[in-house]
Amino acid sequence: MGRVYKPTLPITPALDKILFTLSGYHLLTEDLVVSAVGSPGSASTVKANIKKLVEASYLYRFPLATIAGRSPFVCVLADQGMKYLRDERGLEIAFYKHPSEWKAMSSNWLMHPLELNKFIIAAHHLPDQSDVRVASFEHDYLIKSNPLVYLDEKGKAHGVIADAIINFAVPKRRVVWVELERDSHSKKAFGEKFTNIYWIIAKGIFENRYHAELVKVCFVSTVDDEHIAWMRMIARQALHDITQGHVNPISYRNRLFHFACVPPLQGEEIKPLGTFIEPYWMHPYDLECEKGMRYPLIEL
């Protein structure tokens, strides 16, 4: 990973927290950095610290072209920041992409990991009184090196890379598989993705990897309710085909899957309590959902 770390800036606890946070999320807008490490009231302080880190080449910052509102700045680790975390903090840097590689990505491509990170950060903001906290999370950048794989009845291998896996302590453990959707899949591609996730869980591949008997799979749209309806329709068809038409709406195979819409990157904040604890989600098959019934993602 290059030469050893040579300090060019005294790293205070506040600066360390920003660098450590970016090592987990990989890329964040300035506003998401504020949300991840501080609070709205500390925005000016956090952004001033980001500026210090950029000037000392610990972070790299570049504008994200968007069609709505102002163009936010995206922050990623620069070489000096990566070396500090590796050599001074002793962290294993399992994934690192050079700033030039991030900047070469299209804004549309970057929106997916940024919106995914906004969702994960919201999970970290669950209030203490909810007795639910995020114990750990795993990003797709890390999962990509070791996909979840199952063999179908013909012996063909199918690999799946989750967008994120979030471990909640409730205090009992809950595991959530996150798929953030921006309406970029064809009907066929989304159906295949849904089916592969189903079999990864049904065949025990997920349980063997994560030692979790129960998992919730959530498809998070940042588009609109029409997109949610479209995904649920395809999910129903996939379940119909898998079970040869025998799907019980109250069965685990149906209630395993959850669908909901959340605000996009430049939309309003995601409400942690309402999104994760309160009734907010729909299943593929459920007539009550059409009447306004919703279900919590994390059941207390």
Q: Tell me: the pLDDT tens digits for 227-270?
A: 999 999 999 999 999 988 788 888 888 999 999 999 999 899 99
Taking phi over 0 as left and psi of -120 to 50 as alpha, with beta for the rest, 155 belongs to left
Q: Which of 16-20, 40-44, 62-66, 89-93 has the highest mean pLDDT?
A: 16-20
How would you label 214-233 residue by residue, b for 16+ Cβ within 10 Å and e otherwise?
ebbbbbbbbeeeebbebbbe
Place of tokens 């409400």: 271
Instruction: Locate the domains of the chain by residue range.
Output: 13-105, 110-290
Average pLDDT value for residue range 41-58: 93
Q: Is the pLDDT of residue 96 over 80?
A: yes
**How far apart (Å, rounded) are the C-alpha atoms in residues 277 and 295?**
9
Query: For residue 204, is pLDDT > 60?
Result: yes
Q: Is 92's pLDDT higher than 90?
A: no
What is the number of alpha carbons within 13 Å of residue 183 lying toward its C-beta?
Answer: 11
Q: What is the mean pLDDT of the chain?
A: 91
Given pLDDT bands bounded at 50, 70 and 90, which one contains residue 217?
very high
Whether residue 1 is predicted with pLDDT greater than 60 in this model: the reply is no
Instruction: Place 2 in a pLDDT band, splitting at 50, 70 and 90.
Output: low
The answer to whether residue 213 scores a pLDDT higher than 70 is yes
Residue 46 has what pLDDT?
94
Q: Render the burial of 280-290: b for 16+ CB within 10 Å, e for the rest.
A: bbbbbbbeebe
Asked: is 13-105 a CATH 1.10.10.10 domain? The reply is yes
Query: Is 9's pLDDT higher than 80?
Result: yes
Angle between helices 187-202 and 225-242 (to 10 degrees): 60
List the strands of the sheet with 73-77, edge to edge. Answer: 27-29, 73-77, 59-63
pLDDT surpasses 60 at 62: yes
Of residues 178 and 42, more confidence is placed in: 178
Q: Count other Cβ atoms within 10 Å, centred on residue 135.
A: 13
Instruction: Give the Å distances, CA to CA, from 209 to 59, 143, 214, 253, 256.
Output: 33, 11, 13, 19, 18
pLDDT at 68: 64
Q: What is the pLDDT of residue 69?
A: 63
pTM above threshold 0.85: yes
SS3 143: helix
The H or E element that residue 174 is part of is strand 173-181
Residue 207: the pLDDT is: 93
Tokens linked to 191: 């159906």
What is the C-alpha to C-alpha distance for residues 285 and 16, in angstroms, rounded to an integer?
Answer: 47
Cα–Cα distance for residue pair 83/89, rounded to 1 Å: 9
H helix or E strand, kind and range, residue 49: helix 43-55
Question: Alpha-carbon distance 279 to 297, whole Å?
Answer: 8
Of residues 288 and 214, more confidence is placed in 214
Q: Which two tokens stand for residue 60?
A: 């790299």
CA separation for the pair 46, 50 (Å, rounded): 6
The pLDDT of residue 66 is above 80 = no
More confident residue, 120 or 186: 120
Tell me, what's the pLDDT at 70? 75
